[in-house]
Structure 1
Amino acid sequence: PTEQAPQVPDMRFSIVDVKCCDQNGRVFVVEMQMLWTDAYFSRILFSGAQAIVNQLSPGDSYQSLCPVYSVTVLNDVFEKDPDEQDCWLHHYKITKLAKRGRHGKILKGLQFVILELPKFNPKTKTEKKVTALWLRFLRDTGRSGFVPDEALLSYPPVADAVKLAEFQGYSAVEIDRYQKHLDALRNEKSSLLDARTEGLEEGVKKGLAQG
């Protein structure tokens, strides 16, 4: 619904924030995150809890609550553990502590999924094909006069996305705001990278001077 469209100028470090429901009433909060911050776990806990609380009106029963899934597509790396270098999909659930390291019962209702795009390296032929289709979708759908070909429509999830991506449905003002927001994100990311580089160089100089 249009009332759930993201208010882009008010966002920080994010491009898209979508809240939607499926046919069974399950709630999905999907976000594309450009940079990882230490406070992000707290942020997704807060937004996930809000998605649960906001389902109830005065007088509603708790039995009417539907599960909430928080999904983050992250263009950064947050898990630095060497043993996790090949793990790009992280699925968090509320589980009961079990004895002897076994998984306990899951408390249904709230789950979190984080995808680290920089770690995603398709290896099988199928994975490579699907990745290429999604990249084509992301690249081409915003272009003027875009017409999807048979190859792009051969994979049902991408075909569904093509149908939903009606770029012409946005006004010129909305598109301009979106482009300006993307530019601000790029500038902020560049500034952070420059600051990190300068900090490393300064640290090296001080280390050499002390040595």
Structure 2
Amino acid sequence: MCRINPKVDFAFKKLFGSEENKDLLIALLNAILANEDQIVELELKNPYNLADYQAGKMSILDIKASDQTGRWFNIEMQVGEDLNFDKRSIYYWAKLVTEQLSEGMMFKELKKTFCINILDFNFITDVDAFHNCYKIINIGTGKDDKLHDVFELHYLELRKFNKPYHEIATALDRWILFLSRAHELDKSHLPPELAHDKTIVKAIEAVDRMFNEAERQVYETRMQVLLDMESKIISAWDKGIKEGMEQGIEAGRKREQLKIAQSLLEILDLETIALKTGLSVEEIAKLK
């Protein structure tokens, strides 16, 4: 069984954001992207580095990369439920677009930018498909008309994936199964649907030997932080609903947003707390 949960963002970052595993990231992205967008080579823009994390420089454990044609990619694994994740994703897409342009460059030099969001919670309501892709289209024609083609956003909702092993047919099926059920997988007894895929086998082997002692401590701490954060958010939300019914839903929600923000000050930066709670950075800064 895999001893490390690849859905924990710290583990996901090392697994797919390390130089020695770039082939795994390429395989994952090619399973997600359309045939015409397949990747041959990637350059990691923020590769995994334990020292950066320990120094507090990796509070958001996304992966940034560019391919052989200059296109940019932002890949993020999100475990904790975030009802504002759509806005967060657009924000990170916009940041990645602006990072492309150095002083003196022309707008025509902007390359297509993909945001790949892998979510361990259900986010898109009234849609059963676990993989959904968004582009800018002409609502009259339903087509992109080859305009505004620098935008593409993907959501992969792990909890909507419920295929049994005998229905696993595509590379994306195999990657989502790996991320969803790593705890069930034994590299010595893999189901045939996975055993023939060399990149999946490598990913399982990499997870099994992933961390040294220092990294394992960081991983376990990160897991505890995520669990604590989820517990605080759930508790605060439940309390907010109860108080909201008694004193007014809007006022109760605002108080609980502030309480959640207060509880997260010691573990997250102001920008991330703002994204999590819906408060402004200025409101959160006052809590200090």
**TM-score (normalised: structure 2):** 0.53
Aligned CA RMSD, in angstroms, stands at 3.8
- How far the C-alpha of 1:22 sits from its partner, in A, is 2.6
Counterpart AA for 2:69? N
Higher relative contact order (CA 8 A, sep 6+): 2
1:158 aligns with one of 176, 200, 217: 200
Partner in structure 1 of residue 161 of structure 2: 120
1:173 to 211, 214, 217: 214
Match of 2:86 in 1: 41
Percent same amino acid among aligned pairs?
23
Match of 2:102 in 1: 57
Q: How far, CA to CA, are the matches of 1:67 and 1:93 in structure 2?
A: 11
- Residue 158 of structure 2 contacts residue 176 of structure 2 at CA under 8 Å; is this kept in 1? no
Separation (CA, whole Å) in 1 of partners of 2:187 and 2:131: 32
- Among residues 136, 156, 180, which one is paired with 1:94 in the alignment? 136
Gaps of 5+ in 2: 1-17, 20-45, 247-288
Show the counterpart of 1:4.
47
Q: Structure 1: 5+ residue runs without aligned partners?
A: 206-211
Q: SS at 2:100's partner residue?
A: coil
Task: Tell me how far apart the structure 2 counterparts of residues 108 and 117 of structure 1 sit (CA, whole Å).
Answer: 27
Which has the larger share of strand?
1
DSSP-derived class of the 1:94 partner: coil
1:134 paired with 2:178, answer: yes
Distance 1:66 1:171 in 2: 38
Q: Could you tell me how far apart the structure 1 residues matched to 2:104 and 2:184 are?
A: 48
1:178 Cα deviation after fit: 2.6
* Secondary structure in 1 matching 2:62: strand
2:70 — aligned with what? 25
Larger radius of gyration: 1
Residues 75-121 of structure 1, C-alpha deviations (whole Å, 9 max, x = no match): 1112233xx2x22222111112225xx33425211211011111111
Q: Aligned pair in 2 of structure 1 residues 87, 184: CA closer, same or farther (>3 Å)?
A: same
For residue 201 of structure 1, report the CA deviation from its aligned partner: 7.6
Tell me the residue number matched to 1:209: none
**CA distances 1:21-57 after superposition (whole Å, capped 9, x unpaired):** 2333322111111123233222211111111211222
Retained in 1: the 8 A contact 2:97–2:110? yes
Count of residue correspondences: 194
Residues 93 and 110, structure 1, Cα contact 8 Å, conserved in 2: yes
> More helix by proportion, 1 or 2?
2
